[in-house]
A and B are shown apart, each in its own frame.
Chain A
């Protein structure tokens, strides 16, 4: 079992729609979860972090965490073409002082 599972995509959504990105993780002890956005050829950019069960909203982004199900998701409302990127899910842990990343989900927002 991979430490972090993400659907590689591509996930295609029309402009203005809600994009839903999902991630499961294996380390039950992890307390911190992160979403990074990575444009092609660029480095990852931190867009959301969540530490507690439930929802956390920041602008058009909502992160959802369910520790019992070991599941974290990212919702992007009113998707824009500029949101087209790879979204990386990560958690703190997986054996050591480190972020453990998934392979990312490619999101395409179409006009």
Chain B
């Protein structure tokens, strides 16, 4: 079975631009969560989506938004990019909304110049 997939793998953007990251969960999983990981730190929670609805939001500015589609895939959008947005963006898939095991995709490495 395929695991969590994310695209693109790497991305280089300029300050002020907008970016869209994509994620497809494990087949049968209905929840997708997004995390940001900067070097030397653990992943920081951005959003959780379950059944196409936002179920949780971390301490990130409104420049960050996301959505989940009927096939449970998800997109994370970041507007007005800042240098500090450079990080590894991780998508995690789980069966349901609660405290189930979360499985990460390979991540998207975003560099903002």
Q: Which residues of chain B from 27 to 46 have any CB-CB distance to chain A below 8 Å in the complex?
A: 33, 35, 40-45
Binds A, one of B62-70, B71-79, B96-104: B96-104
Indicate if the CB atoms of B106 and A97 lie closer than 8 Å: no
Chain A residue, CB-CB nearest to B88: A43
How many residue pairs at the A-B interface have CB separations less than 8 Å? 60
Bitwise interface map of A from 72 to 111 toward B, beta carbon under 8 Å scored 1, else 0? 0000000000000000101011001111111110000000
Kindly state whether residue A60 has any CB partner on chain B within 8 Å.
Answer: no
Bitwise interface map of A from 25 to 42 toward B, beta carbon under 8 Å scored 1, else 0? 000000110101000001
* Chain A positions within 8 Å of B107 at CB level: 42-43
Kindly state whether residue A54 has any CB partner on chain B within 8 Å.
Answer: no
CA distance A97 to B56 in the complex (A): 5
CA distance A4 to B45 in the complex (A): 14
Indicate if the CB atoms of B90 and A98 lie closer than 8 Å: no
Indicate if the CB atoms of A92 and B99 lie closer than 8 Å: yes
Given A44-B90, A97-B55, A98-B58, is A90 in contact with B42 using a C-beta cutoff of 8 Å? yes
Kindly state whether residue B48 has any CB partner on chain A within 8 Å.
Answer: yes
Kindly state whether residue B105 has any CB partner on chain A within 8 Å.
Answer: yes
Chain A residue, CB-CB nearest to B58: A98
Given A98-B56, A98-B58, is A43 in contact with B41 using a C-beta cutoff of 8 Å? no
* Chain B positions within 8 Å of A102 at CB level: 42
Indicate if the CB atoms of A46 and B41 lie closer than 8 Å: no
8 Å CB contact of A88 from B42, B92, B98, B105: B42
Listed in ascending order, the chain A residues whose CB lies under 8 Å from chain B are 4, 31-32, 34, 36, 42-46, 49, 88, 90, 92-93, 96-104
Listed in ascending order, the chain B residues whose CB lies under 8 Å from chain A are 33, 35, 40-45, 48, 50, 55-58, 88, 90, 92, 97-99, 101-107
A–B Cβ pairs within 8 angstroms, 20 of them = A31-B99, A34-B102, A36-B104, A42-B106, A43-B88, A43-B105, A44-B104, A45-B104, A46-B101, A46-B102, A92-B98, A93-B99, A97-B97, A98-B48, A99-B43, A99-B92, A99-B102, A100-B45, A102-B42, A103-B40
